[in-house]
Amino acid sequence: MTLYDLFWGIGDFLQWTFILLQGDMIGNMFNYACIVLGFIGLFYWLNWQKKFNAQAENDPNQLK
């Protein structure tokens, strides 16, 4: 296998992936994925915040 074949293979793969992203094939999937990831991040952050608040309640020397 030569470098020529390698680069053409990478190019063909990238072209195939970009064809999947064109048009209405994905529709609103990207938007829904962003919303779902945002909610997952929100709940993750709220869980950490709950832990920090509980830790602050148990420590009387900490500023609140």
**Domain regions of the chain by residue span:** 3-58
pTM: 0.54
In this model, does residue 64 exceed pLDDT 70? no
Q: What mean pLDDT is predicted for residues 47-60? A: 90
Tens-digit pLDDT profile for residues 9-50: 999 999 988 887 776 667 778 888 999 999 999 999 999 999
- Separation of first and last alpha carbons in the chain: 65
**Closest by CA position to 18, among listed 28, 26, 6:** 26
DSSP 16-64: HHHHHHSTTSSTTHHHHHHHHHHHHHHHHHHHHHHHHHHHHHH-TTS--
63: its two tokens:
């500023």
